[in-house]
Amino acid sequence: MTVDFKGRAVIVTGAGNGLGRAHAHELARLGADVVVNDLGGSPDGVGGSSRAADFVVDEIRSAGGSAVPNYDSVATDEGCRGIAATALEAFGRIDAVVHNAGILRNASFGEMTDDKLFPVLETHLFGSIYLSRAVWPTMVQQGYGRLVFTSSSTGVFGRINGANYASAKAGIVGLCNVLALEGEELGILANAVMPVATTRLGGAPDITDDSDEAKAKRAEAVATRPRAQPEWVAPMVAYLASEACTTTHRYYSSAAGRYARIFIGVSTGWYAPERADDTEQAVCYASSQS
């Protein structure tokens, strides 16, 4: 089946830069009406501006695509209801949501204060919950929907100085699992992508920054790390957001042009006898061998 979004409306959160911008462009290129959501804050979630969302909308429209901006925060229920309302007012439907918005506030666990913990959880995890909840009734009524969550290998495997981020991204996997199970009979599919790319959270300049330094930095990134650009992740996301995708309850890695499915599995394990002395010792041995 051809990946085609004509007549489909898609919300992309955090679409003013990086991965979200690449997703919005690819979806628009494939015919989607796109809601470009971006709060316009800093990489650590401070402040706000309409510049980034407007910039991407202008890019899409200049290329002949269809897009509208939205500046609401995904970190609140009110903001997510506003995002959904923008899509319905502009396009009359919501066919897919690409949950992409995110911030970083790295710290060691011993220094994980509330102001570093909760904003990250609210943006990544609560935002995914709030927006899914806001669009769910529309998708149920349509009998059709695609939810694409942005998780991370950090949420599955962890990393130092990222307890807040890892917790949020692991929670997104759990959310994806449940919505996949509940949504399948309703025509709503849910999958997650775990991308690797050079983005603003990793130090890339804001797309609205037209300084010589920013231009040079972007050019260097393309020249030295071409497959680390967000455009290599966008095709995977576009497929998962499309009618062509018929799978659900899955997670995919997208890194440097390599696309792979990620599994969470259980080993063969060890069966204890009916009555065993020193079972704890046996379990200890068995776990060290698995």
| Cα–Cα distance, 168 to 118 (Å, whole number) | 10
Q: Which residues have a Cβ under 8 Å from the Cβ of 233 and sit 6 or more positions away?
A: 19, 22, 23, 193, 195, 196, 197, 254
Q: 103 is written with which tokens?
A: 């911030």
| Cα–Cα distance, 160 to 166 (Å, whole number) | 10
Q: 51 is written with which tokens?
A: 């510049």
Strand pairing class (258-262; 250-255): antiparallel
- CA distance from start to end of the chain: 41
Helix, strand, coil share (%) of the chain residues, nearest 5: 50, 15, 35
165 is catalytic: yes
The residue assigned the tokens 């990793």 is: 202
Q: Which residues have a Cβ under 8 Å from the Cβ of 166 and sit 6 or more positions away?
A: 152, 154, 155, 158, 159
Residue from 71, 130, 144, 165 carrying the catalytic annotation? 165
**Which residues are designated catalytic?**
165
